[in-house]
């Protein structure tokens, strides 16, 4: 497996959104958003459907071009025109649908589109299987049925494959869209443990979720969007569920709570 050095938390954001705007026709999907993500933290990005959170994350993933504003990665302005551009910056996305090829096994999915070739221009199956066993074992030592088509794997095992694909290719910024959706309690706990493990290794994670349990158990800060605008960013520990729901529904900051647009030192 490629070696990904553990990143130590610093005061330099991994990601900076600076006055990001995106419109579709006359609809301002993202309207002047400023948001930071640091190494080793999870920022939950919340809001109703249509709030703009998915559009914002798709711009970071290179799926949508920004209309105006800037995205900085490790202090450098980047132009993310395609998903390949984002991947080169160490940005990987795990969508709710996981984007796995159901007919292929876990090894093939790990290297899908980035297959390792031999000097004779044939697939290096030995290398890919050996690397796959290492990365899968790192996340879940009980995951051994790596040659089973992924359509026959459990939801938790499918998440292992999707997360493994991101970290094998040295993701330092991870976008996770509803990672525990449709999973049972045991598998949700496994995915939560994976998130905490990645966080401990210094990966920065944007977490899109509607599950308040995930918000409070996994995130360090909460950013709420409504109608394309950022309502506010707060330390998760400073809020309760009613205050977060109030921001999502009413689009107003909770009274008496100090925003935390930057991570605490």
Nearest to 208 by CA among 84, 61, 43: 43
Q: Which residues pair with 23 in a beta bridge?
A: 28
Give burial (CB, 10 Å; 0-12/13-18/19+) of 18: middle
The domain limits of the chain are 15-103+167-250
Report field, pTM of the whole predicted structure over 0.85: yes
- pLDDT for 9-43, tens place per residue? 457 899 999 999 999 988 999 999 999 999 999 99
Q: What is the pLDDT of residues 70-114, one digit of tens each?
A: 999 999 999 999 999 999 999 998 876 667 888 999 999 999 888
Residue 221: the pLDDT is 97
Which CATH fold would you assign to the domain 15-103+167-250? Rossmann fold (3.40.50)
């Amino acid at each position: 497996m490629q070696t990904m050095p553990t990143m130590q938390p610093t005061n330099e954001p991994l990601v900076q959104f600076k006055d990001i705007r995106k419109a579709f026709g006359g609809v301002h999907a993202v309207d002047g958003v400023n948001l930071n993500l640091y190494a080793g933290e999870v920022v939950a990005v919340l809001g109703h459907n249509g709030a703009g959170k998915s559009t914002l994350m798709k711009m970071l993933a290179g799926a949508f071009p920004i209309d105006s504003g800037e995205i900085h990665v490790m202090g450098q302005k980047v132009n993310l025109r395609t998903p390949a551009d984002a991947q080169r910056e160490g940005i990987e996305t795990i969508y709710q649908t996981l984007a796995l090829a159901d007919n292929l096994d876990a090894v093939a999915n790990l290297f899908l589109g980035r297959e390792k070739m031999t000097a004779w221009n044939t697939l290096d199956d030995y290398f890919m299987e050996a690397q796959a066993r290492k990365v899968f074992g790192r996340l879940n030592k009980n995951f051994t049925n790596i040659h089973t088509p992924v359509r026959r794997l459990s939801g938790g095992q499918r998440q292992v494959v999707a997360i493994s694909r991101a970290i094998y290719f040295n993701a330092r910024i991870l976008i996770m869209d509803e990672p525990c959706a449709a999973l049972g309690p045991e598998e949700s706990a496994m995915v939560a443990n994976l998130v905490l493990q990645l966080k401990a290794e210094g990966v920065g994670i944007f977490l899109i979720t509607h599950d308040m349990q995930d918000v409070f158990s996994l995130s360090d800060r909460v950013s709420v969007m409504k109608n394309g605008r950022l309502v506010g960013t707060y330390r998760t520990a400073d809020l309760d569920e009613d205050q977060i729901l109030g921001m999502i529904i009413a689009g107003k900051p909770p009274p008496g709570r100090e925003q935390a647009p930057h991570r605490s030192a």
